[in-house]
Chains A and B, each alone.
Chain A
Amino acid sequence: MDTLNFLLGGFAVALTPENLMVAAIGAFIGTIVGMLPGLGPINGVAILMPLAFALKLPPETALILLAAVYMGCEYGGRISSILLNVPGDAGAIMTALDGHPMAKKGLAGVALSISAWSSFVGSVIATVGIVLFAPLLARWALAFGPAEYFALMCFAFACITGLMGDAPVKAALAAVIGLSLSTVGLDSNSGVYRFTGGDVHLSDGIQFIVVVIGVFSVSEILLMLEQHHSSSGLIQVAGRKLFNLKEMAQTWWGTVRSSVVGFVVGVLPGAGATIASAMTYSMEKRLAGPGGTFGEGDIRGVAAPEAANNASAAGSFVPMLTLGVPGSGTTAVMVGALSLYNITPGPALFTQNPTLVWGLIASLFIANVMLLFINIPMVGVFTKILRLPNWALVPGILAVSAVGVYSVHATTFDLMLMSGLGVAGYILRKQGMPMAPLILGFVLGDLMEQNLRRALSITNGELGILVESPISIGLWFGAVAMVVVPPLMRLRAPRHTAAAAA
């Protein structure tokens, strides 16, 4: 019953006028960012994070804004998938497979509304999942010592590199680069300045905002230059705007199944919306059997991946809130945002800062109701925004990004560093290096080093403590399995499933 009381307390936080307004703004911006091809949740959260800080929003309000943007992106991605056949974000790739054919048949309104509905169901089921499981996990994780934490972070890196697909070495390298960037600056334990080159601007380390904006805004802009999308293929929404009861009944159980799968995938570090939607799409396709018209505009193929990507987005809050170890790039950015407020997420957060945790959870419910409303009756507004040309959009993104970076320290140095990191990030991404492990490494770097040092202080330098407790042993085994198993599976799997999962 404790949980229910806390949840009610959370609603009291989320329902204050300020937080309601912030959630609505976040949901609206998120839908736009998600819809625009090239920009996904991580870019949206990265660009808005410094602004939330600059506007001096209290931490729970800032987190509500970022969470609403994140959820909004998962809703928005489907709009361009369906109308333009260009996924607005990575989680919406599968939605295009049946959504666009439906739109071509004149059922654009139905595809948009059923996918908004299944997004809503997915998010709500996953948020209920958070309410049920997060407090349990947090209580269990309270027993973690520094050695277990170190093992847990290694596990998170193993997951994110193992599941990142075809280039595990590059993903690991990205994580190492991120960790290295985090060591720049004053080492608080010993008072030694590391890797600063004597520059006073670097003495308290590289600002998190500078890294995030450089890597996810500046480099994204450079990547966007190569992928011109024209909105000329945009299909007009005509005819029936809303799905009917028959269509709802037809998709209901698939939506529920996909939501549960999406939630579980989301909780796992490393796996995210992309994997969740691909998994559930092929699952529903198999379950439908020969009676399905998947790939030609089957409504079930629109509902399932949308439910899954929203559920996994909500699910990814679980490791972030309970363990303090984010499982995805987007939640890593949120952890970084909290660290700006000197809040370290982790199991203690549930007891020490219930306002923040439960306010966030309650606001997820509220933001989803808003998003359902935004995405069904108001979808026409967004299709107009989709016509916004890049020559106006991109300079705007760059200007807002620079404002965010400048607002922290007001130095030209930070802006130059942002540009440099942006170009470096662009080059690395062109080399096929994923950036999510880099940001995860940067966020976790300090925590990881501190826990390693603390653990070894206990035993006076004896490494044995790292593999002493059953929890750490389990986590180390899990980490090894995550690195070893996916490549083996890929070797065994027939070619076509590999292509479907990509």
Chain B
Amino acid sequence: MSDRILGAACVVAGAGMAFAAIDYAAPISYEPVGPRAFPLLLAGLMALAGAWLIARPGPKGLGLAREHLKPIGLAIVAVFVYAALFETLGFPLATAVMALPVGMAFGGSWKQSLAAGVAMGLVFYVMFDKLLDVVLPTGLLSFVLGGH
């Protein structure tokens, strides 16, 4: 992705912000500057910076080598799946499920990654939930660990 695409995205985002913010008005106003001014100012600055990048793009950003494409994609998917299943599966299980692809993306074998994930899920659960009183979801394992 080049600076020009980033710049165009910023111009679009700035326009979108301005479009949304133009209607922000206080029902009863106590002050000369309402809720609209600051977002509009920012929208303007964002579009301006975007336009600058379109007009004068810098040297090409750090490219992404083809060999990294797969692990990065895998890691991104794993992060989203982890977030989505965190409550449903519960922390210990979700962590094990996340650690498998992420560990493998970082060069671990599937056995190593899975073992690390299972161990981490349990150790962190006991440490945070039981010892440090940071409540974590237990999800599918709630029949063993209690909680929900």
Contact = CB atoms under 8 A, between A and B. Distances in A.
A419 B75 contact: no
A225 B68 contact: yes
Contacts of A169: 49, 52-53
B19 to A, nearest CB: 11
B104 interface: yes
Contacts of A407: 134-135
A285 interface: no
Interface in A397-423: 398-400, 402-403, 406-407, 410, 412, 415-416, 418-419, 422-423
B10 to A, nearest CB: 6
A105 to B, nearest CB: 32
B126 to A, nearest CB: 12
> A-B pairs with the 10 shortest C-beta distances?
A391-B108, A190-B26, A461-B32, A415-B83, A395-B99, A391-B103, A187-B35, A390-B106, A173-B49, A391-B106
A502 interface: no
Nearest to B43: A180
Given A180-B42, A395-B103, A431-B61, A402 B82 contact: yes
Contacts, number: 193
Contacts of A423: 76, 79
Given A55-B133, A226-B68, A395 B95 contact: yes
Do most interface residues of chain B lie in helix, strand or loop, or is the interface mixed?
helix
B120 interface: yes
A54 interface: yes
Interface string A54-66: 1110000000000
A191 interface: yes
Given A395-B98, A398-B82, A189 B26 contact: yes
Interface in A176-200: 176-177, 179-180, 183, 187, 189-192, 194-195
B132 interface: yes
Given A226-B65, A412-B83, A391 B42 contact: no
B2 to A, nearest CB: 9
Contacts of A25: none
18 contacts: A180-B46, A190-B24, A190-B34, A218-B79, A226-B64, A389-B108, A392-B103, A392-B116, A394-B103, A395-B116, A400-B124, A402-B82, A406-B86, A410-B135, A416-B83, A419-B79, A456-B33, A457-B33
